[in-house]
Amino acid sequence: MLLIACPWCGPRDEAEFHYGPEAHHDHPADPALLSDEEWGRYLFFHDNTHGPRAERCCHSAGCRRWFHTVRDTAHHEILAVHRIGEPKPETA
């Protein structure tokens, strides 16, 4: 069982959460200006990190709020959580 510390509710079982997309992968300001190739890269090309990776997460069975996690993909361990808009915490 993996515990994820929701910034509003505290530690909860991972079954209460919904995994979201990569964090800090900002939507293009004007998608209509992108070529098909650029739009495709935005939609389908993401970092495939082996180690700490910033992700979005939703506490779907709790407060239903979105927040960011830093998860070590090699060990499936949550290293940090923070609310969207707050600075990304330092991780080792």
Separation between Cα atoms, residue 45 and residue 36, nearest integer Å: 13
What lies within 8 Å, CB to CB, of 65 at 6+ separation is 6, 7, 8, 58, 59
In the list 8, 19, 86, 91, the residue contacting Zn ion (rule: CB under 5 A) is: 8
Q: Does position 68 bind Zn ion by CB under 5 A?
A: no
Q: Does position 59 bind Zn ion by CB under 5 A?
A: yes
Q: Does position 20 bind Zn ion by CB under 5 A?
A: no
Contact criterion met (CB below 8 Å) for 59 and 5 = no
Q: Does position 5 bind Zn ion by CB under 5 A?
A: no
Residues that bind Zn ion (CB under 5 A): 6, 8-9, 59, 62-63
